[in-house]
Structure 1
Amino acid sequence: MNASYLSWLPESRSLFAVATTQDKSPLLNAYQWNTSTQSFDLSQSLGLEGRGICHINTNKARTKLAIANYSSGDFQLFDISDGSLKNKAVFKNTGKSITKRQTSPHAHYVGWGRGSRYLYATDLGTDEILVFDTSTDDFSPIQRVKADAGDGPRHLDFHPSLGIVYSLNELSNSISIFSSHKETGYLSLLDKVYLSPKQQKGVTNTASAIRISKQGNYVYVAVRGENMIYGLKITPDGRLSIVNKVSSGGNHPRDFNFSPNEDYLMVANQRSNQLNVVKRDENTGRLFATDVALSIVTPSFVQAFGN
Structure 2
Amino acid sequence: MTKTIAIFLFTFFISFNFYSQNSYVFVGSYNSDKNKEGIYVFQLDTLTGDLKKITSVKNILNPSYLTVSPNGKYIFACTETKTPNAGSVSSFEFKPQNKTLTFINSQKSGGENPVYLSVHKSGKWLINANYTQGSVSVYPITAGGKINPIVQNFSYSEGSINKERQERSHVHSAVFSPDYDFVFLPDLGADKIRSYRFDAAKKQPLSENQYPFTSATLGSGPRHFTFHPNGKFAYCVEELTGTISVYKYVTGKLDSIQRINAHTDAFKDDFNSGDIHISPDGRFLYASNRGEENNIAIFSIESNGTLKTVGYQATFGKTPRIFTIDSTGKFLIVANQTSGNVIVFKRNSVTGLLKKSGTEIKVENASCVQIKQYL
Task: Calculate the TM-score normalised by the size of structure 2.
Answer: 0.76
Partner of 1:207: 273
Compared with structure 1, are the counterparts of its residues 265 and 94 closer, same or farther at alpha carbon in structure 2 (3 Å cutoff)? same
Residues 119-161 of structure 1 deviation map (CA, whole Å, 9 limit, x = unaligned): 1111100001011012264746522111000110000011111
Cα drift, residue 37 of structure 1: 4.0
Once the two structures are TM-superposed, the CA of residue 279 in structure 1 deviates from its matched residue by 3.3
Q: Give the structure 2 partner of residue 179 of structure 1.
A: 248
Tell me whether 127-136 or 98-107 shows the greater mean CA deviation.
Answer: 127-136
> Which protein, 1 or 2, shows the higher relative CO under an 8 Å CA cutoff with sep ≥ 6?
2
Among 83, 87, 90, the alignment partner of 1:26 is: 87
Trace 1:151-190 onto structure 2 (pairs within 5 A): 151-182=220-251, 185-190=252-257
Do the aligned partners of 1:121 and 1:130 also contact (CA within 8 Å) in 2? yes
2:189 to 116, 125, 128: 125
* Residue number in structure 2 paired with 1:98: 161
Among 274, 288, 297, the residue aligned to 1:222: 288
Alignment partner, residue 84 of structure 1: 146
Q: CA deviation at 1:287?
A: 2.6
User: What root-mean-square deviation, in Å, do the aligned CA atoms of Structure 1 and Structure 2 show?
Assistant: 2.2
CA distance in 1, matches of 2:95, 2:331: 29
CA gap of 1:22–1:119, structure 2 versus 1, over 3 A, is closer
1:200 deviation in Å?
A: 5.0
Find the aligned partners of 2:320 and 2:245 in 1 and give their Cα distance: 21
SS at match of 1:304: strand
Q: One-letter code of the match for 1:165? A: A
SS where residue 64 of structure 2 aligns?
Answer: strand
Superimposed CA distance per residue, residues 184-217 of structure 1 (whole angstroms, 9 cap, x where no aligned partner): x11111111112146859x733110111000101
Q: 1:179 Cα shift?
A: 1.6
Q: What is the distance in 1 between the residues matched to 2:161 and 2:81?
A: 32
Structure 1 segments of 4+ aligned residues over 6 angstroms from their partners: none
Is the Cα contact below 8 Å between 1:54 and 1:67 reproduced in 2?
A: yes
How is 1:1-307 mapped onto 2 (pairs within 5 angstroms)?
Answer: 1=60, 2-11=62-71, 13-20=73-80, 24=84, 25-34=86-95, 37-80=98-141, 82=143, 83-86=145-148, 87-99=150-162, 100-135=164-199, 137=204, 139=206, 141-142=208-209, 143-182=212-251, 185-197=252-264, 200=267, 204-225=270-291, 226-289=293-356, 292-307=359-374
Unpaired runs of at least 5, structure 2: 1-59
C-alpha separation between the residues in 2 aligned to 1:170 and 1:23? 22
| Identical-residue share of aligned pairs (%) | 27
3-state SS in 2 of match to 1:262: coil
CA distance in 2, matches of 1:22, 1:218: 33
Cα deviation, 1:242-261, whole Å, max 9, x if unaligned, reads: 11112111111111112453
Q: Distance in 1 between matches of 2:153 and 2:258?
A: 32
Is residue 130–residue 171 contact of structure 2 (8 Å, CA) maintained in 1? yes
> Residues 305, 180 of structure 1: CA spacing in aligned structure 2 closer, same or farther, 3 A cutoff?
same
Could you tell me how far apart the structure 1 residues matched to 2:184 and 2:157 are? 17
- Report the CA distance between 1:61 and its aligned residue: 2.4
In structure 1, the gaps of 5 or more residues are none
Q: 1:297 to 1:231 in 2, by over 3 A?
A: same
- Give 2:176's aligned amino acid: W
SS in 2 for 1:303: strand
DSSP-derived class of the 2:217 partner: coil
Task: For residue 9 of structure 1, report the CA deviation from its aligned partner.
Answer: 1.5
| Change beyond 3 A, Cα 1:89–1:173 | same
Q: How many residues matched?
A: 304
Deviations 1:218-241 (A, max 9, x none): 001110121111110000111100
1:81–1:177 distance in 2 versus 1, CA, 3 Å: farther
